Amino acid sequence: MEKLVKTIFPPKCIVCGRYGRSMCHRCLSGCKKIDIGRCIVCQEPSVGGETHAACFNSGVPNTLFSSFEYEGSVRECIRRAKYNSMEFDALKDLTMEGLRYAWKAGIFYSEMLVVPIPLSPKRIKFRGFNQAEVIARKVAEFYKLKTDFRLLKRTKETLPLSELSRAERLKEMKSVFVARPEFVAGKKILLVDDVCTTGSTLISCSQSLMAAEAVEVQCFTVAAVL
């Protein structure tokens, strides 16, 4: 049925309007890729996005890889997908382009469980979906990994993070998530989200996962704010 619908109503690039794909190859190739990784703790450059030894402490993710700068068509695609499930095809196209870039950059994930950053029940009710789950499924498909959406939950609402400083975000996100040890213990976890702004959400999730005895936590986001 989906193929029939696309034949009758061919998809159109959300950026340039060209028919054929929800995000065409030309617009995807124009998305600005991040060529230098950064430490999730200090935000300074690091090889492959590894957390610096001097920054590493219990609960902090081992790595963070983000494919694109959060600007231009990348920003447009992600923002539209947050509030409209009809834009998921474009988000999937962008995610796959980001994963191909990660592979070429030598980012290989194996024997990991893919876990999306969860939304609060209130936001799920308002939106009807979690776009991080869409991304997580594409990551799992690309790297041939399994997903689990049960093991991490958001326990409370937070203030709008866009209005807070990095220090305030880290404080606001403390103890926001809870992980279920029966699903987490002994596992290597790959946390997935659409955008990394300050890393506070990823760090908070990682702390909960490590407290539930995860062996290792790595992070992948489609984009990052630099």
Per the listing, tokens 């061919």 go with 10
pTM given for the model: 0.89
Q: Which H or E run includes 69?
A: strand 63-69
* Residue 173 and residue 165 in contact, taking contact as beta carbons nearer than 8 Å: no
Residue with more model confidence, 8 or 59: 59
Structure confidence by residue, pLDDT tens digits, 164-218: 667 777 776 777 888 999 999 999 999 999 999 989 899 999 999 999 999 999 9
Give the Å distances, CA to CA, from 76 to 23, 101, 109, 173.
11, 20, 28, 26
What are the structure tokens assigned to 7, written together?
């034949």
Pick the CATH number of 34-224 from 3.30.390, 3.30.930, 3.40.50, 1.10.10: 3.40.50
Per the listing, tokens 């870039």 go with 101
The torsion angles phi and psi of 116, rounded to 5 degrees, stand at -80, 150
Give me the residue spans of the domains in the chain.
34-224
* Residue 41 and residue 199 in contact, taking contact as beta carbons nearer than 8 Å: yes
**152-154 and 177-179 beta bridge pairing:** antiparallel
Q: Does 56 have pLDDT greater than 60?
A: yes
